[in-house]
């Protein structure tokens, strides 16, 4: 189950569970759309993978026990250990490859 991390790991922007601005990679690294597009260039600085919009967990339980109420979003804020220069250098080596080629 997705952790639904509460912030962008780069700029620390709040990304509540209903945010359409949250993007994740296959390892659930979480960044805001602006950072993904303008800084990361759709390359995760941690794994080199691409990003997809993070799904929004339903607030209402349409099936018993399955909702944000039953499985709340995470509260542990994470931050990338890489500087913007390191991120841009890493992205430059990978951004030209499609996600399938990475």
Helix (H) or strand (E) holding 53: strand 52-53
CB proximity list for 35: less than 8 A, separation 6 or greater = 8, 10, 11, 13
* pLDDT at 93 (0 to 100): 95
Q: What is the pTM of this model?
A: 0.92
Domain ranges of the chain: 1-102
Contact 8, 16 (CB under 8 A): no
Confidence band (pLDDT; 50, 70, 90) for 67? very high
14-60 pLDDT tens trace: 999 999 999 999 999 999 999 999 999 999 999 999 999 999 999 99
């Amino acid at each position: 189950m997705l952790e639904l991390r509460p912030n962008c790991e780069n700029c620390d922007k709040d990304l509540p569970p209903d945010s359409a601005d949250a993007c994740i990679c296959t390892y659930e690294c979480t960044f805001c759309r602006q950072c993904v597009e303008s800084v990361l260039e759709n390359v995760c600085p941690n794994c080199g993978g691409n990003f997809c919009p993070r799904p929004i967990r339903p607030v209402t339980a349409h099936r018993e026990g399955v909702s944000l109420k039953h499985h709340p979003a995470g509260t542990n804020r994470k931050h990338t250990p890489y500087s913007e220069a390191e991120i841009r250098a890493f992205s430059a080596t990978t951004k030209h490859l499609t996600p399938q080629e990475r």
